[in-house]
Structure 1
Amino acid sequence: MTCDIIFRVEGPIFQAALSAHFTTHDGWNGLEGLSDEVRAKARVVVTNGTVGLTEAEMAMLPALSLVCAVGTGYEGVDVAAARARGIAVTHAAGINAQAVAEHALGMILASVRRICRFDASVRAGTWRGDVGTTRLVSGQRLGVFGMGGIGQRTAPMAEALGMRVAYCSRSPKDLPWDFHPDILSLAQHSDVLLLAAPGGPATHHAVTDAVLDALGPEGYVVNVGRGSLIHTPVLIAALEAGRIAGAALDVFEEEPNVPDALRAHPAVVLSPHVAGLASDVQHQSAALILRNIEAHLGGAPLHSPVPELAQP
């Protein structure tokens, strides 16, 4: 089977897996940089939830019939426009959940135990410097906003450290942890607020001033979901005023641009949207994308269509 694929995301593992079977093209910097010939014959686009694929971009690809998101998120893909054109959309639902959960736990530990600040102090030659002492993670209350695959994997690991877990999701689940109907209530009962919800209108700027004030001056917010969950100026103001103790962020509103105020703040732990990028996960995701493409080209049912386009 011949097929031309455009990559809207960087990923050597993904590209190696697919270039062995198909013709691939780099569209990392936009479709405009590709030739008319490539855009005319491309049948598949590989992207992610952040970069996505807009209706206007789909219009530039007359042969497009499949969009594959490499992770669980696909909020940047215009699914309605895809449906209108008969374009299939797949994602890798839950495939990176364990990797993100492990990263989330690491960020919780790094924030509460001030690991990065101690590291910087030693590197600066000041030994313990003026970092001070830290609280134990054990005994603290973890509130998980978005109890999907990531939350359900993080919660048991947090419990193993002695944390008490509660959660907020669209509806209660058959889980052993306390349910809160909204994020404000969850924050009021949390020392660490973990954001693991998907992006989109329903969660846009879910973390408000009121939520951060409910978390309080000894509370931490950790975001491994989507940058859009937090309004960045609101978070910066809360940090600078000492209304929360700290933040750990793997995702940002305008990636890869991170405000100077966040990069300079000593109580902020940062990582460049890598929580789900474990190589093991990328190999699994690449294999799933390959199976979806082969199924699509062969007229068989897709293995992981997005819910909006799944057959009943």
Structure 2
Amino acid sequence: MIGPRPRILVTRRLPATIEARMATLFETDVNEADVPLTGDDLVEGLAEKDVLVSSITDRIDAELIARLPKAVRLIAQFGNGVDNIDIEAAWAAGLTVTNTPSVLTEDTADMAMALMLALPRRLIEGSQVLARGGGYWAGWSPTSMLGMRLRGKALGIVGMGRIGTAVAQRAKAFGLSIHYFSRSRRSAQVEEPLGATYWPSLDAMLEAVDIVSLHTPLTRETQRLLSAERLARMKAGSFLVNVSRPELIDEPALVGQIESGRLMGAALDVFEYRDGVNPRLLALADANRVIMTAHMASATLEARVEMGEAVIVNIRTFMDGHQPPHLVLPEGGAGIVRRARA
């Protein structure tokens, strides 16, 4: 039976203001160690709990869902992406899943633009000259640290949703021409202020632009969207920015394209990490052919607090018997049978 306050397990530490607010509203158990929990840890921690407040580091697959205590009725993801959760299995088990979209738009777009500037202008490399030289610097010269100008280049955005549009707005201010591929064409009200060109063919756009920036969610259709074949179609000398999901790219093929010199490089806030970072990718980063950041696109205090507030709203709305505002449905959800959660 549900007590006077919802009982929740929070799998990672959240901003102090959010944890304090949760503690006033819910019976809250927080993973103080702030390390990813194992499946057994999750099952044990969820005993007599109503809600799992998960994050992208929690692997919530069909096997784990089948083991969850029956009292658990809601998985309230702290984050926009939910590819760590088997949504179909959760739905079939009668669990509701929510996420925290929208609040990450501006910060993620800022990061994409920062990476777009950093790679062609060699900002990371330039900042390391003195540190790696032990304080020695040969001094300025007309041919030192030459990079690539952004103004006049063509940016190809894959996925013109909230974040893709925000990136386009920033890029236009830097003098880039805006091109995009998306599941559907945006309205004239979106395209015209940006001077944006819609490409119905991703392959054709990849061949035409100087910079490719990924802003599409991970789904069955977008898994390895930039396959080895598509990466080979990219314009010679172009480069790639990814602040979305690593699974959108055939990473070994990308590494090969950069190693060969055909692609200028890549700026990656996300990359494959299950078995550690690809040593070839690390070597390219060491050679300043790739910039890698530690999944920082949404890492602002403002974003994390807003994400926490969205989690709280989802929990309170659900526990009050209403549909939460950020409900996540399975792909083709209408065709999936859902049974009542005990």
Fold match by TM threshold 0.5: yes
Q: Structure 2 vs 1, CA of residues 161 and 267 (structure 1 numbering), >3 Å: closer, same or farther?
A: same
Instruction: Please say if 1:58 is aligned against 2:65.
Output: yes
* Match of residue 23 from structure 2: 19
Following superposition, the deviation at residue 49 of structure 1 comes to: 4.5
The counterpart of 1:33, out of the listed 22, 41, 51, is 41
CA drift of 1:4 comes to 2.7
Give the superposition deviation at 1:137: 0.8
What secondary structure sits across from 1:202 in the alignment?
Answer: coil
Note the C-alpha offset of 1:249.
0.4
Residue 173 to residue 290, structure 1, CA distance change in 2 (3 Å): same
Partner of 1:212: 231
Letter paired with 2:157: V
Given the alignment, which residue of 156, 178, 188 partners 2:207? Answer: 188
My pick for the range that moved more, 23-32 or 61-70, is 23-32
Distance 1:120 1:77 in 2: 39
Q: Is residue 269–residue 296 contact of structure 2 (8 Å, CA) maintained in 1? A: yes
Structure 1 residue 108: Cα displacement: 0.4
| 181 and 9 in structure 1: CA distance in 2 versus 1, 3 angstrom threshold | farther
- Written as runs of structure 1 = structure 2, the 5 A alignment for 1:116-155 is 116-125=124-133, 127=137, 132-155=145-168
Mapped to 2, the partners of 1:131 and 1:181 lie a distance apart of 41
Q: Which runs of 5+ in 1 are unaligned?
A: none
Please say if residues 52 and 74 of structure 1, whose CA atoms lie closer than 8 Å, have aligned partners that are also in contact: no
| Distance (whole Å) between structure 2 residues aligned to residue 50 and residue 165 of structure 1 | 34
**Contact 1:193-1:220 within 8 A present in 2 as well:** yes
TM norm structure 1: 0.91
Do residues 202 (structure 1) and 217 (structure 2) align? Answer: no
Q: Secondary structure at the match of 1:187?
A: helix
Residues of 1 paired with 2:313 and 2:170: CA distance?
32
Counterparts of 2:152 and 2:274, CA distance in 1: 34
For residues 136 and 115 of structure 1, the distance between their equivalents in structure 2, rounded to whole angstroms, comes to 13
The match for 2:242 is 223
Aligned to 1:86: 94
Aligned to 2:340: none
Give the conservation status (yes or no) of the 8 Å contact 1:71–1:95: no
Q: How far off is 1:16 after superposition? A: 4.2
| Aligned pairs for 1:229-308 within 5 A | 229-254=248-273, 257-265=276-284, 266-308=288-330
Is 1:5 the counterpart of 2:8 in the alignment?
yes
Tell me the equivalent position of 1:46: 53
Q: Under a length normalisation based on structure 2, what TM-score does the superposition of the two structures give?
A: 0.83
In structure 2, what is the Cα distance between the partners aligned to 1:46 and 1:245? 40
Of 158-167 and 252-261, the range deviating more from structure 2: 252-261
1 CA distance for matches of 2:274 and 2:49?
A: 27
**299-308 or 166-175, which deviates more:** 299-308
How far off is 1:179 after superposition? 1.1
- Residue equivalent to 1:115: 123
- Code of the residue aligned with 2:62 in structure 1: it is E
> Structure 2: which 5+ runs fail to align?
335-342
Larger radius of gyration: 2
Deviation at 1:214, TM superposition (A): 2.6
Q: What is the identity, as a one-letter code, of the residue corresponding to 2:216?
A: A
Q: The residue matched to 1:285 in structure 2 has which SS? A: helix
Q: Tell me, what secondary structure is at the counterpart of 1:203? A: coil
**Aligned mates of 2:56, 2:260 — CA distance in 1:** 33
Match of 1:163 in 2: 176
Q: Is the 8 A contact 1:208 1:234 kept in 2?
A: yes
Contact 1:144 1:167 in 2 (8 A): yes
Per mean C-alpha deviation after superposition, the further-off stretch among 294-303 and 271-280 is 294-303
Percent identity at matched positions? Answer: 27
5 Å-filtered alignment, 1:170-181, equals 170-174=183-187, 175-176=190-191, 177-181=196-200
Query: Which string of whole-angstrom CA distances, capped at 9 and with x for unpartnered residues, describes residues 116-155 of structure 1?
Result: 0111223223547996311111111110011111101000
CA contact (8 A) 2:87 2:329 kept: no
Q: Tell me which of the two structures has the higher relative contact order, counting C-alpha pairs closer than 8 angstroms and 6 or more residues apart.
A: 2
User: What displacement does 1:35 show?
Assistant: 7.3
CA distance in 2, matches of 1:307, 1:2: 26
Q: How far off is 1:307 after superposition?
A: 4.2
Q: Could you tell me which amino acid in structure 2 is paired with residue 166 of structure 1?
A: H
Which among 70, 76, 82 is matched to residue 68 of structure 1?
Answer: 76
